[in-house]
Structure 1
């Protein structure tokens, strides 16, 4: 019996130390999200040319509880909710098959529909706001560097930068000049598209060596586009600069972020399913500490959301409840039943907790909000 108790204690302590901590459990929700971007198109046209075409194909799915859709400017969003007994993997496969059938009916300018499942564990565990009295371009560059550093952390699934300026090379065509030279906007776009490519020219073999030949032709500077030849009229070469203006500017902003009334850039961080939220949060904060050292004066990094704090609090509550429950039970039993009986019960409380933790580890569970609440409730 003594050996068994020692074995349970050792395994339980090891399990407690190694069990991954996370805020929310990985609960499979039978919901699938389909988003299709079609920039520059009104909500009415999005609904008729994209949303309704996809919905028509999705209506034949089995096990669907509800389909809801939203058509915004430049974006179609469809949420398919399945019955609880449908596996998420099967739902994703069926939705992909139906969306593939609808692709042939979508407009040529529409982007590839994106399909993903909705999972509670995909919500961000950390949100960092970056503010400073520097140019928005410089602030965006700092945020992008921080994004790369955070995504390299083990356990981090994804990091998204929101509210920043994104560079865009914009082509402003003069329709009068295009018509005067006998050209069309479609010809201009085709010419730019065909010139902005890298071409593989095969291989070059020498005795004992083989080289891959590649012809780089992608534009690296907006000024290169100005000198792109389009056609010859009257013995004179017509360049893109003769019929259009190339501007190095920024995309129209689709998201804004503010902190205490000042413009900021937000970095939203997601962790991988099963990763320890406490370890991930500590590593992200270590990266933030290094970023603060090299950032320009006036740039601040503020953590505005940290789900690891809630997890730490619940783990601390569990530990406090175990200790306080043990002390109270022992005191009551000592007063009324003596030391021997109180010692047996005193050992039963931590042993039951350690055995539970060992079983959780063996079954592949994590110490999340639901598990911690259940343990605290059972202990009470």
Structure 2
């Protein structure tokens, strides 16, 4: 066989059949292959974060970071270890050598952090060990706002969060700008004194009573049954009827000596969209999932829920990574179509 180009031109039908087969195979692969903006690249960085409420940066360095650094310095293949303390906690950042095994490194770091827990203050929160993975960053942010009460907007945001997490390609849906609900108890000093209850006694009885007590098991001819004393507070009525003092058959409840007000915890962060308060849902996709399909499914779920929401609720989308991928795919399609047309024209004119 001489020149491959001459052979392809002289055997036009074979060339066109081969081209058609490649187009069909390429189109099938195009539909099946995941569309990614940021592929799953292993970044050699592991991040350890630990917090303690009210601790200063200096105390965080001495009480939180030093015990962690002492244990983490024995981890293998560490290129550089950096740490910094801030108001309320600190972090240790480990950079590994290129080509490291992320699973082994993550397991080693978690084991060393567990060894350091005994040297941390008792009031310190659980250390958080995480790796940097670009593919886990949010691919879409859904913002909910408008002239809606905060409590109602929070319920709608949680409804959207639960629905979005049911999508197969979604790894997580995290709320931002949402304050946790809490209950404010305002004790009446005059009523406490009239019942002979001190404020310390009220606090101690409330803290001790809000628990689930296991009372063993009861065996009978029908079988073995677990017995428990349900004392967990789940509804506002449980708070009002909570006993704080007992005298004979009479009980003084919390509703008799205090006022109960539903409220929210103090905000730790503020989220605004177009200058207005809002609650956002950050959507992250699973590794290997099709980004475009995941974003489209998320939008479809939110729009379906939107039909049942009040008309004053405003829904906006931001940080949509599928837009850039659509542009790149469109350019790729144009290039492929142009190349195919050129090949067909050359084959027909020869």
Task: Tell me which interval the TM-score lies in, with the shorter structure as reference length.
Answer: 0.7 to 0.9
Change (3 A) 1:194 1:12: same
Secondary structure of the structure 2 residue equivalent to 1:20: coil
- 1:270 pairs with 2:294: no
Q: 2:89 aligns with which of 75, 80, 102?
A: 75
Unaligned runs of 5+ in 2: 1-13
Deviations 1:131-168 (A, max 9, x none): 11011121111111100000011110001110122213
The alignment yields a C-alpha RMSD, in angstroms, of: 3.5
Secondary structure of the structure 1 residue equivalent to 2:319: strand
Aligned residue number for residue 260 of structure 1? 274
Aligned residue number for residue 359 of structure 1? none
Query: 1:30·1:91 contact (CA, 8 Å) conserved in 2?
Result: no
Q: CA deviation at 1:106?
A: 0.9
Query: 2:64·2:89 contact (CA, 8 Å) conserved in 1?
Result: no
Q: CA deviation at 1:258?
A: 1.0
Q: 1:197 aligns with which of 199, 211, 229?
A: 211
Higher mean C-alpha deviation, range 203-212 or range 295-304: 203-212
Cα distance in 1 for partners of 2:288, 2:92 equals 28
Cα distance in 1 for partners of 2:255, 2:56 equals 31
Aligned residue number for residue 8 of structure 2? none
Superposition pairs of residues 99-114 of structure 1, within 5 angstroms:
99-114=113-128
Cα distance in 1 for partners of 2:121, 2:296 equals 47
Aligned residue number for residue 118 of structure 1? 132
Aligned residue number for residue 308 of structure 1? 322
Cα distance in 2 for partners of 1:239, 1:301 equals 44
Aligned residue number for residue 92 of structure 1? 106
Cα distance in 2 for partners of 1:82, 1:244 equals 56
What is the TM-score of this pair, normalised by structure 2? 0.81
Superposition pairs of residues 125-144 of structure 1, within 5 angstroms:
125-144=139-158
Q: CA deviation at 1:246?
A: 6.7
Change (3 A) 1:263 1:241: same
Aligned residue number for residue 168 of structure 1? 182
Cα distance in 2 for partners of 1:53, 1:172 equals 41
Superposition pairs of residues 6-45 of structure 1, within 5 angstroms:
8-45=22-59
Secondary structure of the structure 1 residue equivalent to 2:31: helix
Change (3 A) 1:28 1:46: same
Q: CA deviation at 1:40?
A: 3.1
Change (3 A) 1:166 1:308: same
Aligned residue number for residue 5 of structure 2? none
Higher mean C-alpha deviation, range 202-211 or range 276-285: 202-211
Cα distance in 1 for partners of 2:29, 2:340 equals 20
Aligned residue number for residue 369 of structure 1? none
Secondary structure of the structure 2 residue equivalent to 1:36: strand
Q: CA deviation at 1:172?
A: 8.0
Q: CA deviation at 1:23?
A: 1.6
Query: 2:37·2:321 contact (CA, 8 Å) conserved in 1?
Result: yes
Query: 2:60·2:90 contact (CA, 8 Å) conserved in 1?
Result: yes
Cα distance in 1 for partners of 2:262, 2:340 equals 68
Query: 1:292·1:300 contact (CA, 8 Å) conserved in 2?
Result: no
Secondary structure of the structure 1 residue equivalent to 2:132: strand
Superposition pairs of residues 26-65 of structure 1, within 5 angstroms:
26-65=40-79
Deviations 1:11-54 (A, max 9, x none): 43322221121221000111111122322333333332212321
Q: 1:157 aligns with which of 152, 163, 171?
A: 171
Q: CA deviation at 1:221?
A: 3.9
What is the TM-score of this pair, normalised by structure 1? 0.75
Q: CA deviation at 1:253?
A: 1.0
Aligned residue number for residue 214 of structure 1? 228
